[in-house]
Structure 1
Amino acid sequence: MTAGSAPSPSPGPGKADELAAERLRHVLGPATVVRGTALSGGLHNSARLLELSDGRRLVLKTAPPASSPALAHERGLLGTEALFHRIAARTGARVPTVLHHEPAGPGTPADWLLLSYLEGTTWDAARDRLTSPDRAALRRRLGEDLARIATVTGPAYGYPQPAAGLSAPDWPTAFTAMLRAVLADAGRFDVELPAPTGFLAGLPVRFGHRLAEVRRPALVHFDAWEGNVVVDRTASGPWHLSGLIDGERAFFGDPLAELVGLDPLGAAEDDADLLAGYRSVTPALTLDTGARVRLALYRVYLALVMRVESVPRAYGGDHAVRLDGWSADRVMEQLAVLDALEA
């Protein structure tokens, strides 16, 4: 539900289907849905591919009920996604077109978003079919698009949805709030952390002078890994970038943070093709000591988010065990990087 509105009773499956059909009729006009297919890959919001009577293919995304367990920054994610795609599109970046967004409220049990469908397949699904030249060209194009997106300046730093309460007039304050929110989530979900909470909470203070080097709240997707990049080709022709999807984790802040979301497990700043594309739009991108300190901080933050979200997502089995071990190693690795850079 939106802030300040009263909760509405959750309808049963039949009523929910009727409400969805009514909303889509209002948005789609004479076109009707002839087929709907669940899309995999989403970990918070659900998504369906809708095939219409007029030949169009659209994506309907629906948020979970407000009562579902979630991290603090996950409030209003579809509102963030709608905002991201609308303003990123103005830069010339390839993103889905926002057709309709409706926040939760009276008569609307859950936030929902209707988007155009990007033809193709996700990069991770096509990985084995890409040659080295394909990959180099795609990474350059992705770097260009992300640099264009980063030219957008937001009204404040941090997550844009007021319900999250994680924005501020400067980057050190906003990042401190973001980091401490996920630490509070860890306490709420009883997640053991790889380092003491107080020590982790103090990182933005310890390196506040480096965070203060960020002077403009740039738009950052922060989740542009290969599963959220769509690529396509015609017959045996070259692969091209169809676009970037799932902008729900976006925030306004340090554009360097994009490098962390691009490769959560590695170091995107070591990708020469990606940086060449980025610098073709923004030649001033630098990777000095201050930049590397901030990258390490953002890697600590992302590893903690991935560690804590495993509880409300109810991960289990080997995946949960691997994530637990990886996130602990990643945090400790980046704390060592910070120590070395500080020295």
Structure 2
Amino acid sequence: MTGRYEADPATLKDLLAPLGDVQALETLGGGTFATAVRATFADGSRSVVKMVAADTGRMSTYEKGILGTEARIFGMLADSGVPVPRVQLTDFTRTRLAADVVVTEHLPGAAWNDLSLGDDEQRTLRRELGAVMTAAHRVTAPHFGYPAPESGLSGDTWREAFGLMVSAALADADRWGVPLPDDGVRAALAAHAACLDEVIAPAVVHADLWPGNVFVDETELRIVGIIDTERTVWADPLLDLVGAEQFSAAPPDEDIVAGDTAAGGVLADLLSTEGGQARLHLCRMYYAILLVTEVTIRGYEGDFAVWYETTARANLDSALERLGC
């Protein structure tokens, strides 16, 4: 898969030596992009080592410099109220490993999507997730677009940055031979460009807050960890609603929006306007393009790949229809 990297255990232990004497290394499952390894030290403490291969040949444009973004966003959110892990070590030299490396503290709890919870419990967590979004959106970002300079996808305005993001996504699809309704996408962007100017300040948008990236204390039923900040965009807050429900074409989850509102967030206000609704569908259009294209780039196979691409294409068609294109 794209970005995955198998490190030599001895070299990895040497890299981790400043943190302690490594007693065990365990590759963690669940990721489709990077490789994650749990390191256990002699004193019983644990860390998570995340590695992305240096070879960018099978990456989307927005993924260039992606692990540097993860470390940077963890730092930005450290005192925000968003429960992100502390960064313990980074290595972007690619001298000992042919990969970028970020090491963080090991979070408590369990991944939300691994838990068997009732409807009321799920609603409680979705409301708390809305509050987590609010906390992140209050953090000041320096510009719009992707943080990593390597991507080249940033701008002084959301219109400029989003236009670059969409163009890059279409170019990636063309490079990999993935057919898309390019004319419809460009027409939608042109027809609704003015509403992008309504976004006057960039928010820190995680853009990937599905339950697999959320850690929960099952006993207290509260969110205790947020991971995988590498796809963060400094953007319109509405993009977080799309990232949390990546394969949905339905209205945004009411509980997430309610949780954001209760925490003083602006998502409900944005969704109540014509421009906000248009931007929601533009964000869904963009996200669907990424999902459709990555099936080919990452080499997904079997029934999963068929479902993934079919659903994403249906969502793309739905977004374009709602945008009048």
Q: Does the pair score TM above 0.5? A: yes
Q: Please give the per-residue CA displacement for 1:111-151, whole angstroms capped at 9, x wherever unaligned.
A: 1000111122211111xx21233222212221111101001
1:294-333 matches, within 5 Å, as 294-333=279-318
Contact between 2:145 and 2:162, CA under 8 Å: does it hold in 1?
Answer: yes
The equivalent of 1:9 in structure 2 is: none
The equivalent of 1:19 in structure 2 is 11
Of residues 210, 214, 225, the one that matches 2:210 is 225
Q: Distance in 2 between matches of 1:105 and 1:65?
A: 7
The answer to whether the 8 Å contact 2:249/2:318 transfers is no
Partner of 1:276: 258
| TM-score computed with the length of structure 1 as normaliser | 0.87
Following the alignment from structure 1 to structure 2, what is the Cα–Cα distance between the partners of residues 337 and 65? 39
Give the secondary-structure state (helix, strand or coil) at the position aligned to 1:311: helix
Where 1:310 maps in the other structure, the secondary structure is helix
Residue in structure 1 matching 2:154, options 156, 167, 185: 167
Partner AA of 2:229 in structure 1: G
Rounded to whole Å, the distance in 1 between the matches of 2:56 and 2:276 is 39
Match of 1:145 in 2: 132
* 2:50 paired residue number: 61
Aligned length: 318
1:242 aligns with 2:228: no
Distance in 2 (CA, whole Å) between partners of 1:266 and 1:328 is: 11
CA distance in 2, matches of 1:258, 1:32: 39
Deviation at 1:283, TM superposition (A): 4.5
Q: TM-score, normalised by structure 2?
A: 0.92
Aligned-partner Cα distance in 1 for 2:75–2:250:
26
Task: Choose 105-114 or 206-215, whichever is displaced more.
Answer: 105-114
Whether contact under 8 Å (1:176, 1:201) holds in the other structure is no
State how far apart, in whole Å, the 2-side matches of 1:121 and 1:131 are: 16
Distance 1:257 1:85 in 2: 19
The match for 2:196 is 211
Which consecutive segments of 4 or more residues in structure 1 shift more than 6 A?
Answer: none
Q: Which residue of 1 aligns with 2:78?
A: 89
Contact 2:112 2:216 in 1 (8 A): yes
2:206 maps to amino acid: H
Deviations 1:97-122 (A, max 9, x none): 11112214455521100011112221
How is 1:72-151 mapped onto 2 (pairs within 5 angstroms)? 72-126=61-115, 129-151=116-138
Between 157-166 and 35-44, report the one with greater CA deviation. Answer: 35-44
3-state DSSP of counterpart to 2:23: strand
User: Which sits farther off after the overlay, 260-269 or 73-82?
Assistant: 260-269
SS of equivalent to 1:92: coil
Query: What residue is the counterpart of 1:266 in the other structure?
Result: 248
Contact 2:145 2:155 in 1 (8 A): yes
Provide the C-alpha distance between the structure 2 equivalents of 1:114 and 1:212, rounded to a whole number of angstroms: 38
For 2:26, the equivalent position in structure 1 comes to 37
The amino acid across from 2:16 in the alignment is L
- Rg comparison, structure with higher value: 1
In structure 2, what residue type is equivalent to 1:153? T
Give a deviation string over 1:39-68, Cα, whole Å, max 9, x none: 112121110111111111110001123244
Corresponding residue for residue 6 of structure 1 = none
How many Å apart are 1:282 and its aligned residue? 2.5
Deviations 1:310-333 (A, max 9, x none): 112111111122222112211111
User: How much does 1:204 deviate?
Assistant: 2.3
Is contact 1:262–1:268 with CA below 8 Å preserved after alignment? no
C-alpha RMSD of matched pairs (Å) = 2.0
Change (3 A) 1:13 1:310: closer
